[in-house]
Structure 1
Amino acid sequence: MEDDVSRIKDQPIMVRLKHVVIGAIGLPVVILLGAWIGFFNVGASSGHWKVTAWFLQLAMRSAVRTYALAVDAPKVLDRRGLPAAAGHFARGCAVCHGAPGELRSPAVLRMLPQPPDLALTAGDWTDAQLFRIVKHGIRFTGMPAWPARDRDDEVWAMVAFLRELPKLDAKGFRQLAFGAREATGNEAQPSAPDTLTDCTRCHGSDGEGRGGLVPVLAGQKEAYLFASLQSFAKGDRTSGFMALPVTGLARDEMAALARHFAAQPPIPVDRDQIPAEVVQKGQQIAEAGIPERNVPACSGCHIGSDKNPVYPRLDGQHAAYLEQQLKLFRSESRGGTPFWRIMATAAQRLTDEDIRALSAYFSKRTESPQ
Structure 2
Amino acid sequence: MFVRWWHMVLVLVVAPLAVILFAWIGFFNVGASTGHWKITEWFLHFAMQSAVRTYALSVEVPDELPRAGVQPAAAHFTTGCAICHGAPGEPRSPVVKRMLPQPPDLTTVVDKWSDEELFRIVKHGVRFTGMPAWPTQARDDEIWAMVAFLRELPSLDPQQYRKLAYGSTGLPSAQHSGFERALADCVRCHETNGAGRSALTPIIDGQSEAYLLESLRAYAEGSRASGFMTQAAANVDTDDLERLARYFAAQSPPALERAPTSHAASRGREIAERGLSARRVPACLGCHGGSAHNPAYPKLWGQRADYIEAQLRLFREGKRSGTAYSHLMLNAAKKLTDEDIRAVATYFAAQASRSTMTTR
Q: TM-score range by the shorter chain?
A: over 0.9
Take 2:127 and 2:327, find their aligned partners in 1: how far apart are those partners? 35
Take 2:48 and 2:232, find their aligned partners in 1: how far apart are those partners? 31
What is aligned with 1:5? none
Q: Aligned to 1:166, which of 154, 158, 163?
A: 154
What is aligned with 1:255? 242
What is aligned with 1:6? none
Once the two structures are superposed, residues 67-107 of structure 1 have per-residue CA deviations (whole angstroms, 9 ceiling, x without a partner) of 00000011321100111000000011000000000011111
Once the two structures are superposed, residues 137-160 of structure 1 have per-residue CA deviations (whole angstroms, 9 ceiling, x without a partner) of 000011000011010000000000
Take 1:268 and 1:285, find their aligned partners in 2: how far apart are those partners? 25
Identity of aligned residues (%): 53
- The yes-or-no answer on 1:98 pairing with 2:81 is no
- The yes-or-no answer on 1:325 pairing with 2:311 is yes
Shift of 1:18: 5.0
Relative to structure 1, is the Cα distance of residues 176 and 39 closer, same or farther in structure 2, using a 3 angstrom cutoff?
same
**TM-score of the two chains, using structure 1 as the length reference:** 0.91
Relative to structure 1, is the Cα distance of residues 28 and 50 closer, same or farther in structure 2, using a 3 angstrom cutoff?
same
Relative to structure 1, is the Cα distance of residues 348 and 268 closer, same or farther in structure 2, using a 3 angstrom cutoff?
farther
Matches within 5 A, 1:210-225: 210-225=197-212
3-state SS, counterpart of residue 53 of structure 1: helix
What is aligned with 1:351? 337
Aligned length: 352
Query: Once structures 1 and 2 are overlaid, which stretch shifts more, 306-315 or 61-70?
Result: 306-315
Shift of 1:199: 0.7
One-letter amino acid of the structure 2 residue matched with residue 196 of structure 1: L
Q: Aligned to 1:44, which of 26, 32, 42?
A: 32
Relative to structure 1, is the Cα distance of residues 191 and 281 closer, same or farther in structure 2, using a 3 angstrom cutoff?
farther
Take 2:132 and 2:297, find their aligned partners in 1: how far apart are those partners? 34
- Contact kept? 2:220, 2:231, Cα under 8 Å: no
Take 1:100 and 1:29, find their aligned partners in 2: how far apart are those partners? 50
Relative to structure 1, is the Cα distance of residues 322 and 251 closer, same or farther in structure 2, using a 3 angstrom cutoff?
same
- Contact kept? 1:119, 1:165, Cα under 8 Å: yes
One-letter amino acid of the structure 2 residue matched with residue 46 of structure 1: T
Take 2:157 and 2:291, find their aligned partners in 1: how far apart are those partners? 47
One-letter amino acid of the structure 2 residue matched with residue 236 of structure 1: S
Matches within 5 A, 1:78-157: 78-157=66-145
What is aligned with 2:222? 235
- Contact kept? 2:219, 2:234, Cα under 8 Å: no
Larger Cα-atom Rg? 1
What is aligned with 1:13? 2
Cα-Cα RMSD: 1.8
- Contact kept? 1:182, 1:190, Cα under 8 Å: no
Give the gaps of 5 or more residues in structure 2.
356-360
Shift of 1:19: 4.3
- The yes-or-no answer on 1:266 pairing with 2:253 is yes
Take 2:79 and 2:349, find their aligned partners in 1: how far apart are those partners? 30
Shift of 1:17: 5.0
- Contact kept? 2:60, 2:116, Cα under 8 Å: yes
**TM-score of the two chains, using structure 2 as the length reference:** 0.94
One-letter amino acid of the structure 2 residue matched with residue 366 of structure 1: A
Take 1:222 and 1:204, find their aligned partners in 2: how far apart are those partners? 17
Take 2:67 and 2:174, find their aligned partners in 1: how far apart are those partners? 23
